[in-house]
Homo-oligomer: A and B are copies of this chain.
Amino acid sequence: MIDETASGVYTIACTPFMPDGALDLGSVDTMVDFYAECGATGLTILGMMGEAGKLSAAESEAVIRRVTARTDLPVVVGVSSPGFAAMEALSKTAMDAGAAGVMIAPAGGLKTDGQIIDYYHNVAETVADAPWVLQDFPLATNVVIPTEVILRIVADCPGCVMLKHEDWPGLAKISALRAASDAGDARRISILCGNAGLFLVEEMGRGADGAMTGFAYPEMMRDVVSRMQAGDETAARDIFDAYLPLVRYESQPGLGLSVRKHILAQRGAIAHPTVRRPGGGLAAAAQAEVATMIARQEARLAALA
């Protein structure tokens, strides 16, 4: 089970598909192995970049079972749903299959502080005993969660053990949350950062515990997190900067997933780069840009070694 001490790199796993759009469960295995070899501390499945919304209930269950059967790493399962009944069913499936926790983004349409707090009170009741991750991703959800609201949820809901941080800009929020727990005014929870890793060095510097994102080179996250934990910001920045052109390119909303799956397929992690409809492949021009950046990235990493 995940708890407030979780740290390191929880890779946001993609969901592999066959060229015709069917689930590719064989690639689930190779992908899980790939992430583990690249230094993942844990996995997060059925997140937004895992195309969770495009799966049927039966497919979601199949993915959960395949992943948890393949690895001993802690697995967090995204269970965001339009309603609490579906969330409860999926959460139960996940925990019964051996997941280490669940993750929930706020429902679209929440506006006021009070609505957000009420929502997570309902979430806490719905997922019952499962430890859970609050996903704070305003660019995708259009729900802005102020620091005070996070602190209130943390105070009210003991099951909330982690923040998936991807507010943007969000560095000040990390500082504020850490100031609150450092002052003894709040329980300290784990903060793992998303946003494609685009601010990972600064996030670690502000007090984050690691990364939870799906950049196609998880070793970047592993190395940046470990260097920052070791207090060597210069080394962390050297590595980070080498990958930054590609991190930036993969951070494009929507298109980023096509980039990511293209690279994961090239690296052998999955068999096909297929994004389920309505998605799309990577145009030739984009493939060429990616190839250029990878070549430069490798040269720069070699120079660092």
B-binding residues in A (CB < 8 A):
51, 53-59, 82-86, 88-89, 108, 111-114, 118-119, 122, 144-146, 148-149, 168-169, 171-172, 175, 198-199, 202, 205-206, 233, 237, 240-241, 244-245, 248-249, 252-256, 276-278, 283, 285-286, 289, 292, 296
B83 pairs with A53, CB closer than 8 A: yes
B56 pairs with A85, CB closer than 8 A: yes
Pairs of residues from A and B, 4 with the lowest C-beta to C-beta distance, nearest first: A54-B83, A53-B82, A169-B252, A111-B144
A168 and B252 contact, Cβ closer than 8 Å, known pairs A56-B85, A205-B289:
yes
- 8 cross-chain CB contacts under 8 A: A55-B86, A57-B89, A113-B146, A119-B278, A169-B254, A172-B286, A237-B292, A248-B248
A58 pairs with B108, CB closer than 8 A: no
Distance between Cα atoms of A202 and B283 in the complex (Å): 14
Q: How far is the CB of A299 from chain B (nearest CB, A)?
A: 11
B289 pairs with A114, CB closer than 8 A: no
In the bound complex, residues from chain B placing their C-beta under 8 Å from that of A202 are 249, 289
In the bound complex, residues from chain B placing their C-beta under 8 Å from that of A57 are 56-57, 86, 89
Set B88, B112, B241: member contacting A244, Cβ < 8 A: B241
B253 pairs with A146, CB closer than 8 A: no
A56 pairs with B89, CB closer than 8 A: yes
Q: How far is the CB of A64 from chain B (nearest CB, A)?
A: 15
Set B84, B119, B240, B296: member contacting A54, Cβ < 8 A: B84
Task: Report how many copies the assembly holds.
Answer: 4
A118 and B88 contact, Cβ closer than 8 Å, known pairs A144-B111, A283-B172:
no
Q: Of all chain B residues, which has the CB nearest A119?
A: B278
A86 and B56 contact, Cβ closer than 8 Å, known pairs A148-B114, A171-B286:
yes
A83 and B111 contact, Cβ closer than 8 Å, known pairs A118-B278, A252-B168:
no
In the bound complex, residues from chain B placing their C-beta under 8 Å from that of A175 are 283, 285
Q: How far is the CB of A207 from chain B (nearest CB, A)?
A: 10
Distance between Cα atoms of A44 and B240 in the complex (Å): 33
Distance between Cα atoms of A145 and B112 in the complex (Å): 7
In the bound complex, residues from chain B placing their C-beta under 8 Å from that of A248 are 198-199, 244, 248
Q: Of all chain B residues, which has the CB nearest A145?
A: B112
Distance between Cα atoms of A58 and B249 in the complex (Å): 41
Task: For the A-B complex with A56-B89, A57-B57 known, give 6 more contacts whose Cβ atoms are closer than 8 Å.
Answer: A59-B85, A84-B276, A113-B113, A233-B292, A240-B245, A241-B241
Q: Of all chain B residues, which has the CB nearest A238?
A: B296
Set B55, B254, B289: member contacting A83, Cβ < 8 A: B55
A85 pairs with B148, CB closer than 8 A: no
Distance between Cα atoms of A55 and B168 in the complex (Å): 26
